[in-house]
Structure 1
């Protein structure tokens, strides 16, 4: 895999956008009222074979912002205890500052113009990222404000499935239900699936071009 700076730029593959895979765990479904509790992202790189691969995973446990709503049903699903000291949570402002700084660095390294969020039900994740950016008054949010790349759509097209676990199983990747709804596990599965879709398309595209020639 490529070193930190010696990389094959992704700029030409996605029209100047850099795909950054993101998953959030939250205190509900309303990105304006409910807490952002965990944020994970995967940085992708092109390997020596010219294929897109997971390069590095980052993860933040985040303190609920003041007066944030915490829906007990959501906490039951994700298993997060928001005020447990064992979480080693950081303030939302610190998490978003670090998150955006890493993304901006990757955008520059890959000679891209902007990041585009990749997720499973990606508008949900983007909504929480954008709301958090607004709360902390971030001036340098590197993500496209509304466009996303969604593995729900890609999974439906390729496998006729829309649930993350079922798409992963259809792709032969397996699924550990005991780890599901952990931001890190979900984001890495989403990243592997996105890379699988891109690499499969590249292979098919090359085969079509070979036949045409």
Structure 2
């Protein structure tokens, strides 16, 4: 199938029918089955008629711990959330938060003709693990491929020789603010910028998509 840069939906061809969606989660630990999901953010990736990708639709939600969730105090301290149930967080239930993030992704899938979303993340297996566990727990349909991901750790390591998000972002010539790091929304935005920079700096694949 020949990639046609003038096609407004060419992103479905560029990524083998998948829609890249950058995701970052902040959690109360490392076990997706036991530890609470605290924040989730997602940014869909769009493509211009000329074939350049860009951060498109962004969505974020603070999340209330699910019933029986384990909360690791050191993990909460690391992400700067003392009390996940504090009313000023305006947090949603896990099910509501997932639906808030998934709905715009499903709309983008329909608009682009892509078959599934593919999760883009920095250490993407971690984010996908928590998304899958939460979706299974809440019986919410996920737009994401069950195991395939695009990981900016690997991509940035190849492109810039850096695997830490802050260092890779700076190596790509992008701004980074340490004071905003470790919030899902900020890390997702910067990961999306990094992913787009790497993809756009690659030679345009104007051969054939197998």
Q: Do these two structures clear the TM 0.5 threshold for a shared fold by scoring above it?
A: yes
TM-score when scaled to structure 1?
0.89
Contact 2:61/2:100, CA 8 A, preserved across alignment: no
Contact 1:116/1:144, CA 8 A, preserved across alignment: yes
What secondary structure is seen at the aligned counterpart in 2 of 1:20?
Answer: strand
Contact 2:40/2:61, CA 8 A, preserved across alignment: yes
Deviation at 1:49, TM superposition (A): 4.0
What secondary structure is seen at the aligned counterpart in 1 of 2:202?
Answer: helix
Q: Which residue of 2 aligns with 1:94?
A: 96
d(CA) in 1 for partners of 2:68 and 2:38? 13
- Report the aligned-residue RMSD: 1.5
Aligned pairs for 1:14-33 (under 5 A) are 14-33=15-34
Deviation at 1:48, TM superposition (A): 5.0
The count of residues paired between Structure 1 and Structure 2 equals 199
Q: Which residue of 1 aligns with 2:8?
A: 8
Q: Which residue of 2 aligns with 1:85?
A: 87
d(CA) in 1 for partners of 2:186 and 2:196? 15
Any unmatched runs of 5+ in structure 2?
Answer: 1-6
What secondary structure is seen at the aligned counterpart in 2 of 1:34?
Answer: coil
What secondary structure is seen at the aligned counterpart in 2 of 1:60?
Answer: strand
Any unmatched runs of 5+ in structure 1?
Answer: 1-6
TM-score when scaled to structure 2?
0.90
Superimposed CA distance per residue, residues 34-89 of structure 1 (whole angstroms, 9 cap, x where no aligned partner): 00010000112113543101122100011000011111111111001302111000
The runs of 4+ residues in structure 1 deviating greater than 3 Å are none
Aligned pairs for 1:1-213 (under 5 A) are 8-9=8-9, 10-80=11-81, 81-138=83-140, 140-203=141-204
